[in-house]
Amino acid sequence: MFTKANRDGYREALPGIGMKTLVYGERTLFTEFRMEAGSSLPAHAHAHEQTGYLVEGRIRLTIGTETFEAGQGDSWCIPGNTGHSAEILENSIAIEVFSPLREEYLPPGD
């Protein structure tokens, strides 16, 4: 599967947080998040392992009991079923991979 870069197809995940699944396979899903300064991702957990890379911006990410201020080029891994949250400190772009595949993140019609 190949995907050409384009600005279409983003959907609002939460206020100030847009997401777009770029590509996926049988066991992994690759998603881009565009996040506005001042927005937040409330504490939650899911069965999927989640690895991320901050392309640009700055966020404060809490995984379990550990908090980390991530800047451009930083990365993280969130084990499945582990609580996590984020505060968006600057306009930011993150790329995240989920395994297993997150069905609810599949593009409409797929």
Domain at 92, CATH number: 2.60.120.10
**Tokens coding 75:** 């990365």
What is the domain range of residue 26? Answer: 12-102
**Percent of the chain topping pLDDT 70:** 98
Strand order in the sheet with 11-14: 11-14, 17-24, 29-35, 92-99, 49-56, 75-78
Q: For the chain, what is the domain count? A: 1
Does residue 4 form part of some domain?
no
Does residue 3 form part of some domain?
no
Does residue 29 form part of some domain?
yes
| pLDDT value of residue 76 | 98
Q: pTM here?
A: 0.92
Does residue 6 form part of some domain?
no
* 97, 24 Cβ separation under 8 angstroms: no
| pLDDT value of residue 7 | 83
